[in-house]
Amino acid sequence: MTNTSTHPSHPLLVSDRTGYPADYQPKMDDEANRVQDDILTKRGLKKRKVLLVGGAGYVGVPVAQYLLAKGYDVLNIDRNIYGHHMAVSGLLMIPGYTYKNVDFADFRNVEELLGDVTDVVVLGGLVGDPITKKYPDESHAINDVGVSNVLKGLDGQGMNKVLFISTCSNYGEIPEDQIADEDYALKPLSLYAKSKVMQEQVLLQNDFDYTASILRFSTAFGLSPRMRFDLTVNEFTRAMFLGENMEVYDADTWRPYCHTFDFGRAIARALEAPRDNIHKIPFNVGGDNNNFTKQMVVDQICKQLPDAKYSIVEGGFDRRNYRVNFSRIKDVLYFTPHYDVGQGIAQLIYALQQGLFSDHDQNPNFYNNRVVSYP
């Protein structure tokens, strides 16, 4: 196997290696042998190297940490548009990790780095509804033109698998009595989600020579070296920990959530899966137990911070309301999240108690996607 963990004593990594049904393990072995014969041996490579496109951000750094622990080499390219490059500093000392500050929107910058890359995870872009609304031109250049350049440019480059990171926000606003699986109609409401849907179609409608898959991420929460406090669970937890009167808009609206660590696990599962299990197949990434309303989030925080304050406000501007079905990723890739929302909140509270993130107000752009420097 080419992706054996370099830290076999770590209980989560051991679980991820052995947590498959017996009849699936031979299929994984066949896939590993195929990669060895068709990719590594033919190209004279010793191990798989994953290119993380836009891997220096809130989700990208934990993903890199996890893949390195699983035994992959990782090449991360990131334009550092929020001035967040220090988030990768702890990774630079780890063997097998390389960071390049380049703009992926110009595919020539990507192409010259592909010599020993076997697989690609496309994370990059302006992430989130507010930032894409604030910077529509930059969003078009990066999320529309840039990502499309990458997906199309990787064709013919000898890649094994290309995973495009999309979003469950694609489902938009759905009725209260419905839960969206991957075949549910996509109704993107924001510029961000519309760009994701467009790139999904690039993969689904073209016959590229690589194995392509789409991972629709839930809303992220949890700790990260590039911490963000403009995401619901993190924002609410910090504000209520600090004693602020948190205003909660449209408290009964639903979202699915997923911990930063679990995103790395889901990506690894897709990289290890047989090609037929993932090719041109979208997967919702998360777990049913992490479908939460905003009210449920603050209730979880209040369990751990009994004196915390918040107030409910009606008439918010964000119309998104969706619960998501995660049966496919559970049944096909045997993925279920390790962390639930309550555990993520506990981690955040502990970090805040230790004085972490005390420079938030002095470095707001590091902790929140607010101001973009591009090109």
Taking only Cα atoms into account, the Rg of the chain, rounded to an integer number of angstroms, comes to 20
Mean pLDDT calculated for residue range 353-363: 97
- Beta pairing partners, 98: 75
Q: Which residues contact 120 (CB under 8 A, 6 or more apart)?
A: 50, 51, 53, 150, 154, 159, 161, 162, 163, 210
Does some domain include residue 375?
A: no
Q: How many CB atoms lie within 10 A of CB 39?
A: 18
Helices marked H in the chain: 11-18, 25-34, 42-43, 60-69, 107-111, 129-134, 136-139, 147-153, 191-205, 232-241, 260-272, 275-278, 294-304, 327-332, 341-353, 364-367
Q: Is the pLDDT of residue 4 over 50?
A: no
Q: Is residue 92 part of a domain?
A: yes
Q: How many helices (H) and strands (E) does the chain have?
A: 16, 12
Residue 319 has pLDDT above 90, yes or no: no
- 């911990």: which residue's tokens? 259
- Biggest alpha carbon–alpha carbon distance for the chain: 62
Question: What range defines the domain where residue 323 resides?
Answer: 11-367
How far apart are the C-alpha atoms of 322 and 326, rounded to whole Å? Answer: 13
Span 82-89, mean pLDDT?
Answer: 94
- Residue 5 resides in a domain: no
Q: Does residue 340 lie within any of the structural domains?
A: yes
Residue 15: band (very low, low, confident or very high) from pLDDT cuts 50, 70, 90: low
The answer to whether position 105 is within a domain reads yes
SS3 53: strand
Q: Where residue 3 falls among pLDDT bands split at 50, 70, 90?
A: very low
> Which pLDDT tens digit goes with each residue over 46-61?
999 999 999 999 999 9
Please state the domain count of the chain: 1
Q: Are 374 and 81 in contact (CB under 8 A)?
A: yes
Specify if 4 maps to a domain: no
pLDDT at 13: 63
Q: What is the pLDDT of residues 105-149, one digit of tens each?
A: 999 999 999 999 999 999 999 999 999 999 999 999 999 999 999
Q: What is the pLDDT of residues 230-284, one digit of tens each?
A: 999 999 999 999 999 899 999 999 999 999 999 999 999 999 999 999 999 999 9
pLDDT band of residue 20 (cuts 50, 70, 90) is: confident
Position 8 confidence tier, pLDDT thresholds 50, 70, 90: very low
Residue keyed to tokens 């009849």? 23
Q: Are strands 254-259 and 73-77 parallel, antiparallel or unpaired?
A: unpaired
Question: Above 50 in pLDDT, residue 7?
Answer: no
CATH number of 220's domain: 3.40.50.720
Exposure b/e, 295-332, CB count within 10 A at least 16 = b = ebbbebbeebbeebebeeeeeeeeebbbbbbbebbbeb
Give CA–CA dist 157/139, Å, rounded. 26
In-domain check, residue 259: yes
The 10 Å Cβ neighbour count of residue 101 is 12
Given this model, what pLDDT does residue 357 score?
Answer: 97
Which residue would you say has higher pLDDT here, 320 or 158?
Answer: 158
372 within some domain? no
